[in-house]
Structure 1
């Protein structure tokens, strides 16, 4: 059955049209027509013709007409003057009767008279109401026909023409003329019916498909039909309705102008891409631009003046289009161009022939049937060109559809189509792979695959708008997956895409986690814990309690130094696990340093927070931390603060840090608690105000100097030595604790400014008081580590030492051991430069570090100031006495002098004297004093208030070697400022 159906389809689609075409060609070639050979039965009638000016009467032109020679054909040469004709009626016409035929489509009016009696025979005028004729004259095909009974011997006629007319008069029987009229009407019907039906079909197709090419071609077909009617002589009617006679000249001019315009527009539209590729668009645009003045000429110029314009424009346009078409044919071999060339060739040859025939007076070779054939052939060929264009576009669409289908099948993004009831109409393989299940059209619904809430969002979306949302789906193999849905309602369907964004979401969540968490310990980082603290401060304003704790692991650095960072990292991870064990859900821990943590406890009163902190400390020491085969003990210190309303995050963290440092120093349980009214908060607030004051960049008011004597243990009456100490008063005249000042200066970044002030003030004072200080051997002045690393300060310090060379010789700049050992190379260069400038250098706090002795040989200092922690209560700790004695012996062997600070009692001073210390500084000898008191004293012995100590020092034997050393008078020196005391 299927083969029968295919056979019938082939027969209907291909067999019947082929048979009809073959039958038509055979009939055209071999069969006789129903009209017979009517034209052969017509007889040419010679005429005498003469043009005259308008207004001449018939009797006035007869003498001139009789003198004219008879001719069988006459060209008017576009003349619109009246043309008078004298015809001798053929004998056969007088005997048997018949019709005189005037077959000229350019004839606009005709009047005839009996040449003997001048009796009017009839009149007809296509430009007036007499278009249907009066008397014996009537319209016939494209011209007129005169039928008189009985016929006179001669007939005189006056004719008027418009356009390139060629006058021929024929005589024949009424039957022959009637047959020609029927054939004329049949040809007109063919032309009108064929072209208009084709145009109507193309117009409807163009409107349905919204194809501009179809619409342009439909317009061209209609104008082509009017051109053919104009050529064949039946353009005076439209679908059987006669045009108003007075409008015919304008209609003809517009037909000619619009035909050229439509032809160029159709050409431009069909070959838009080819014109761009072959660079022939410019001449076509020139022709399009020329169409505008031609249309205006059609409206403005008389017919006989318009015709030369249209001829010239047609010739130029044909050359331009022919050139462009030829280039396209040569370069692209386009079949569309071939068909279009054939169509335009038929139309152009037909029109050019008519122009040439009219201009040169050639006899027309194409009759009405050929005009119809030319119009139909050009239209058919143009239709084939358009059909070829449609075929190419169809093939391109198929290729694009195949490519789209390939993309649809292999696109990694899921594509789907739903109806408005949620049924799945289509799904590409990627979607099925994402969902891990086969999907058949119309057998699955959205709610079977995804949550129902998602369908509600899709179903209620407005048409034309795109909706986007994320959804989840649990699969058997991959677990929970995240998808991004984008969909839009198009008519009665919902088109959408599904993209698996699980990896993207997980990566985004991981990045978000890393933004707020420490990647090693997985607890909050500084940014995350600060956000929690900000949230807690906001809740504090609403009356919720807030506690913050600062945790520092004790001596954790040793684990990294001795066993490496991997071991330290493993311990840190276990530490964080233990820290979080006692924490409630409203408590957060964040890592803010290598071994430092911040605990933010929201909505937690102080007593509860204190309990949690003790639990944390117990958890830290509960058991050793196992890393491989090793186990480590880790302890911690916590500073806990109760946050008061109005506090800011920075101050809260600073207060907790201070409490933590206090907890590390205090021999307690490792926990220090500050209530919101504690003195530590007040001190911190004062320190912050001082920081703001120092950071303002203005001159620092309230600074002044004090001096603490340094007494020689041999011959104290012969020297007056001291250390310069920095002091400050606030705006109320109260003394600012020195530790607060130094912390604030370091925080504000102005240690260099303060040290520069101390150095300048000390040098100026020593220079001014040189004569009053004859016994001064050295003046100690302490430099901060920040200043020693400040290139600008160092430059200024060297300049000050050079400027006050006399005072620099008495100056001894103190460098703390930690600063000296931080960069021994830089320290060595500093010592060498200072000694070149006349000053001396002392290593302060010597012995506090475990690397002091190993580096001492690389630092050529002049003096050692033994760390006070060995001096205080040294008699209670024999080990300290032994350490100090070792330092003294080492210094003596290296040629250095020693100073012991923090000597608080007479017994300590006596012990220091016995073990060979050179100088002593401390409250046992003198507290810091004003510079004026230094000026009133002759030696360091003047400051000793203890009579027993004074007597003891007077009994000490002199050190001859010490007395001999010219070191006492100074060496090159330079240095920053003093802060100690």
Structure 2
């Protein structure tokens, strides 16, 4: 309270006079305190306005008429033998009840009246026992004679009695009625009736006022839980009215008696459901913690059953169902409330527990009193105070929850405001015209925006033209889209790039802004490097292939020039790669400058360039290429204080629409190789119909031959050794390669055979032949291969995706279970990623049968590292393009080193292909490659040579390589050798 007082004073410190502050404190603290103290003193010290004392409980003789109807005289005779009692319970019986009693004399001061206070009484008739004079009849429709309707039941007026008068009465009751007779004088009964009316008015007015207040508050704040609470308060009011006996009226209007049974039943069932709904809504978060939600659901289903029974059962049968089902619901609530108090222990829970506790206590008292006549065990519960107290405590619970939620919202707003202020991303709100409403410090710093400029600065002031329209279009899409836009040139931010997200909210636009200039530059750089050579800025192989593919779709004439520098390797060898790189830059620059037209120029190898001469006739292309040769060959290349003379050779191919990219490049490469042999021109041109194209025709003929669904004659296998760098003289591993003899006796390259077979669709048959032949050979010569750990064999992509082929292969493996462990099946990266799930199943099945898997040509694709973790291969075969040129290009060394480290970390072996010189072998050993394969070790061998050898090192003839192998075989020498090699290469 002290903190609240200080806060209140601070509010008025600068906004009002001392009189305002004094009146505020007087109204907020003094007056409420005085009212509270006065109310408590009045309740405890002052007498009630209408004292309802003075009644006499009259002993009665009672019996339940079950059978034929009796007259008053017959009933009186039967009552003389009935036992005497002051309270008789009908036990839900609706048979007529006869009872007799003696009304006391009150003298001549006040008339005597007898009250029958039962809200369950339906009819009542009384007679004087001595004369059988009828005194009148009463029911819920009206009264006659001396009978009156009073409070919840009826009364009979006896006048001024000077002596006691015996009476006999007959009544009918519905429900769990308690029959009693109270003797009064007229004054005290009138006070009791007034007290009854005052109590009903107090509870009715109080609860209705509270319910209306809560309902209005709920509707204004859109808090639907409090709507339930408001309706629950009305239910509480109706239950209290039922207990007191004045539920036959509503808002001072009498409810027809015929409606009452159904109305009471629906009220009981509805109150049950409302209590469960309010409970589950108020404690929805806490109930997830305490558990037993299934028990709460069971209680709610019981409530629905109770509502259904209320619609169909008569009142006498519904009440026992209410006691049973309602008792189950009360038990569920008591159990869950106990767990809530034990586990949650919040003030909301405690208030609500107190409220429901009072309701349950009062209800339980009524049930026990009605069912067993045990109401006196509780000393008589004041129904008005119970209803008001439970409602007020429930209101306290609601108020406490509202306070907690308001505090939670306040904390959330504070956290949101703090987050808004410290978020490093720019946050903003714009009005419908595009002016700033608010911006966080990050955005203000980003745009150099000041708070004073909010109303005068427009979005377009800080961004490129059309920025406001783009922002509106983005905001209309919702929260899914994003947009990148540039800054404003006028403000000096034209080179900046911003990433924007925005949504529409209440007529405003709210969003976030990030400065992504550096990221955009990096992305542009990556996009450039994806298709360009980082050294020369020309297209790389991928860019060249893309340009050729695009040109092959055009109908205009075009040509492809393949440029190679003669003896360029000497520049690198004699003066280093830095000088060589500078020469390459100048070659690319001269080439691009010569072709003034927009020809794509690219570098696809160490010193190999390609130019796509679009919309150019072959004769024009020949003239331009002669000029280019002069430009590249005549003028020296100045690098520092040195000048280099480099000659260029060009292979030129006339291309037509629909040519394949690889065909065009291979033809141009072949023409360039011929040009390097022709010293006087350095230019070789293939026009349409040239011999190269004839050779292509021969390849197509081979495709046709292989497409006859039968194995072509002349197939045979050769084997290329794979040497271990850790134990070169102790293992004999090799790769099986396919060859084919042509009818003229020449051996066709395997590449041509494979390509033709794939194009013909007969590759699966050839792969099946290779696998069958190899397994038969291994089984036959297994004893001659003691040092062989694995034998590599390639599988083509077409076969891997042929389900019948795969079933045949695994059936073949099942026939040779003892030798499958020798097999290491090679699949290329592009084939493996074509259908990743199929490849994973294939690898798993091969492993289950004891075989191994190697990924061939690894690094040639673009997605290897992304999917490698999904392929449980045993070995990686590094693409030979990296290995062949690694000593000439540091980038290739870095790539190979990364692949080797990746393989080692993934538990795979690494194999380097195309090892053709000793320097490359030394570099691979230093990097840590496990196995090497290439012409430096051995060319492909006949099977007899393999069987005659003891290791892969047996095939090495070069003395330098032999010396390297000897060093590798001895660890100490290998270590010394590694130091010497690093010193030679100038690395650390």
Q: TM-score, normalised by structure 1?
A: 0.67
Contact conserved, 2:475 with 2:502, CA < 8 A, in 1?
no
| Alpha-carbon shift at residue 820 of structure 1 (Å) | 13
Superposed, which structure 2 residues align to 1:771-850 within 5 Å? 823=935, 826=938
| Alpha-carbon shift at residue 693 of structure 1 (Å) | 2.6
Q: Is the counterpart of residue 468 in structure 1 residue 478 in structure 2?
A: no
Closer/same/farther in 2, CA of residues 383 and 638 from structure 1, 3 Å limit: same
Cα distance in 1, alignment partners of residues 136 and 60 from structure 2: 18
Contact conserved, 1:691 with 1:745, CA < 8 A, in 2?
no
Cα distance in 2, alignment partners of residues 343 and 48 from structure 1: 41
Give the structure 1 partner of residue 146 of structure 2.
136
Superposed, which structure 2 residues align to 1:285-296 within 5 Å? 285-296=297-308
Closer/same/farther in 2, CA of residues 529 and 8 from structure 1, 3 Å limit: farther
| Alpha-carbon shift at residue 16 of structure 1 (Å) | 3.9
Q: How many residues align?
A: 739
Contact conserved, 2:565 with 2:649, CA < 8 A, in 1?
yes
Cα distance in 2, alignment partners of residues 262 and 163 from structure 1: 23
Q: Deviations over 1:352-395 (max 9, x none)?
A: 22233344535659899921110010011112122222222222
Cα distance in 2, alignment partners of residues 853 and 87 from structure 1: 137
Cα distance in 1, alignment partners of residues 629 and 415 from structure 2: 69
Cα distance in 2, alignment partners of residues 746 and 395 from structure 1: 77
2:518 to 485, 493, 503: 503
Closer/same/farther in 2, CA of residues 40 and 855 from structure 1, 3 Å limit: closer
| Alpha-carbon shift at residue 592 of structure 1 (Å) | 1.9
- 3-state SS in 1 of match to 2:137: strand
Contact conserved, 2:270 with 2:307, CA < 8 A, in 1?
yes
Q: Deviations over 1:795-832 (max 9, x none)?
A: xxxxxxxxxxxxxxxxxxxxxxx999995764899999
Contact conserved, 1:415 with 1:427, CA < 8 A, in 2?
yes
Q: Deviations over 1:651-689 (max 9, x none)?
A: 443443344334322232433445x45xxx431221001
- 3-state SS in 2 of match to 1:2: coil
| Alpha-carbon shift at residue 10 of structure 1 (Å) | 4.9
Deviates more, 1:290-299 or 1:18-27: 290-299
Give the structure 2 partner of residue 121 of structure 1.
135
| Alpha-carbon shift at residue 487 of structure 1 (Å) | 2.0
Q: Is the counterpart of residue 632 in structure 1 residue 647 in structure 2?
A: no
- 3-state SS in 2 of match to 1:55: coil
Q: Is the counterpart of residue 108 in structure 1 residue 116 in structure 2?
A: no
Cα distance in 2, alignment partners of residues 377 and 410 from structure 1: 49
Q: Is the counterpart of residue 147 in structure 1 residue 157 in structure 2?
A: yes
Contact conserved, 1:588 with 1:600, CA < 8 A, in 2?
yes
Superposed, which structure 2 residues align to 1:178-327 within 5 Å? 178-327=190-339
Larger RCO, structure (CA 8 Å, separation 6 or more): 1
Contact conserved, 2:365 with 2:375, CA < 8 A, in 1?
no
Q: TM-score, normalised by structure 2?
A: 0.67
1:691 to 699, 719, 737: 699
| Alpha-carbon shift at residue 145 of structure 1 (Å) | 2.4
- 3-state SS in 1 of match to 2:673: helix
Q: Is the counterpart of residue 82 in structure 1 residue 96 in structure 2?
A: yes
Unmatched segments (≥5 aa) in structure 1? 704-725, 730-735, 752-788, 793-817, 838-851, 859-981
Deviates more, 1:383-392 or 1:158-167: 158-167
Closer/same/farther in 2, CA of residues 196 and 638 from structure 1, 3 Å limit: same
Closer/same/farther in 2, CA of residues 228 and 790 from structure 1, 3 Å limit: closer
| Alpha-carbon shift at residue 235 of structure 1 (Å) | 0.9
| Alpha-carbon shift at residue 92 of structure 1 (Å) | 2.6
Task: Flag the structure with larger Rg.
Answer: 1
Cα distance in 2, alignment partners of residues 384 and 295 from structure 1: 29
Contact conserved, 1:114 with 1:120, CA < 8 A, in 2?
yes
Contact conserved, 1:694 with 1:745, CA < 8 A, in 2?
no
Closer/same/farther in 2, CA of residues 464 and 71 from structure 1, 3 Å limit: farther
| Alpha-carbon shift at residue 90 of structure 1 (Å) | 3.2
- 3-state SS in 2 of match to 1:470: strand
Closer/same/farther in 2, CA of residues 469 and 179 from structure 1, 3 Å limit: same
Contact conserved, 1:547 with 1:609, CA < 8 A, in 2?
yes
Q: Deviations over 1:241-269 (max 9, x none)?
A: 22221222232233333333332332233
Closer/same/farther in 2, CA of residues 583 and 491 from structure 1, 3 Å limit: same
Q: Is the counterpart of residue 521 in structure 1 residue 531 in structure 2?
A: no
Closer/same/farther in 2, CA of residues 462 and 112 from structure 1, 3 Å limit: farther
Closer/same/farther in 2, CA of residues 833 and 488 from structure 1, 3 Å limit: closer
Cα distance in 2, alignment partners of residues 293 and 836 from structure 1: 92
Closer/same/farther in 2, CA of residues 99 and 593 from structure 1, 3 Å limit: same
Cα RMSD (Å): 4.2
Superposed, which structure 2 residues align to 1:583-598 within 5 Å? 583-598=595-610
Deviates more, 1:47-56 or 1:597-606: 47-56
Q: Is the counterpart of residue 485 in structure 1 residue 493 in structure 2?
A: no
Give the structure 2 partner of residue 882 of structure 1.
none
Cα distance in 2, alignment partners of residues 121 and 683 from structure 1: 138
| Alpha-carbon shift at residue 420 of structure 1 (Å) | 1.8
Q: Is the counterpart of residue 447 in structure 1 residue 455 in structure 2?
A: no
Cα distance in 2, alignment partners of residues 92 and 857 from structure 1: 140
Superposed, which structure 2 residues align to 1:320-359 within 5 Å? 320-359=332-371
Cα distance in 2, alignment partners of residues 268 and 728 from structure 1: 87
Cα distance in 2, alignment partners of residues 250 and 272 from structure 1: 32
Deviates more, 1:62-71 or 1:412-421: 62-71
| Alpha-carbon shift at residue 634 of structure 1 (Å) | 1.2
Closer/same/farther in 2, CA of residues 688 and 182 from structure 1, 3 Å limit: same
Unmatched segments (≥5 aa) in structure 2? 1-13, 716-739, 757-790, 795-914, 919-933, 950-956, 964-988
Give the structure 2 partner of residue 456 of structure 1.
469
Contact conserved, 2:431 with 2:507, CA < 8 A, in 1?
yes
| Alpha-carbon shift at residue 180 of structure 1 (Å) | 2.6
Closer/same/farther in 2, CA of residues 534 and 833 from structure 1, 3 Å limit: closer
Give the structure 2 partner of residue 577 of structure 1.
589
Closer/same/farther in 2, CA of residues 112 and 270 from structure 1, 3 Å limit: same
